[in-house]
């Protein structure tokens, strides 16, 4: 069953499970998304994270670790945050590591390259007005920085186990 094409209310336990499948995050605006602010002691996670991101001065950008059990709504909350930030004209890049890489054989450089690819793809379809040449120049600059001792030191600061 495709959850987006389900008839509501559902008529069986199997349909209910498949409509709320824990492996399929809900997109922003999905009517099945429930606001849990009341049960989080008044904390609206999306609003709180958006505010923290907006208030973070460069180069001290906000970093947030989101954890929880499978199917508890981490990806759904991040999709809500992504939509909210895009509505406010922020450039947002997101990607699923498991779709691009093997989580059982992961190196920092693999993640950085996957991130560079995701940035490149997001910039290509954005309305920011960057040319492919400008995107390539940015990626070249990041690669050059990585190859320099200063760049490795910066990465080690962000990732203590960096090689």
Provide the token pair at 135: 């995107």
pLDDT at 49: 92
* Positive/negative CA dihedral, 14, 17, 23, 26: positive
C-alpha count within 13 angstroms, C-beta hemisphere, residue 63: 4
Q: Nearest 5°: phi and psi at 68?
A: 160, 170
How many whole angstroms separate alpha carbon 52 and alpha carbon 99? Answer: 28
* Residue pLDDT tens, the chain, 163 long: 555 556 667 888 888 887 777 788 889 988 888 888 888 888 888 999 999 988 988 777 777 888 888 888 888 999 999 999 989 888 888 888 888 888 888 887 788 788 888 887 888 788 777 777 877 787 787 777 667 665 556 555 555 555 5
Domain residues of the chain, as ranges?
7-91, 93-163
pLDDT at 160: 55
Question: Which secondary-structure segment (H or E) carries 130?
Answer: none
pLDDT at 80: 94
Helix, strand, coil percentages (3-state) for the chain, rounded to 5, are: 55, 0, 45
pLDDT at 50: 93
pLDDT at 148: 67
Q: Which among 105, 102, 153 is positioned nearest to 162, based on CA atoms?
A: 153
């Amino acid at each position: 069953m495709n959850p987006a094409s389900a008839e509501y209310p559902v008529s069986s336990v199997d349909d209910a499970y498949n409509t709320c499948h824990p492996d399929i995050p809900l997109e922003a605006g999905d009517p099945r998304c429930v606001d849990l602010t009341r049960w989080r002691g008044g904390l609206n996670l999306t609003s709180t994270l958006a505010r923290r991101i907006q208030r973070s001065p460069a180069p001290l950008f906000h970093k947030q670790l989101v954890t929880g059990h499978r199917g508890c709504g981490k990806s759904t909350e991040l999709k809500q945050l992504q939509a909210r930030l895009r509505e406010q004209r922020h450039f947002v890049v997101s990607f699923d590591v498991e779709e691009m890489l093997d989580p059982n054989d992961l190196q920092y450089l693999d993640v950085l390259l996957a991130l560079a690819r995701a940035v490149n793809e997001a910039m290509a379809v954005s309305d920011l007005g960057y040319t492919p040449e400008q995107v390539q120049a940015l990626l070249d600059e990041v690669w050059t920085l990585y190859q320099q001792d200063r760049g490795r030191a910066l990465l080690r600061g962000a990732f203590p186990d960096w090689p």
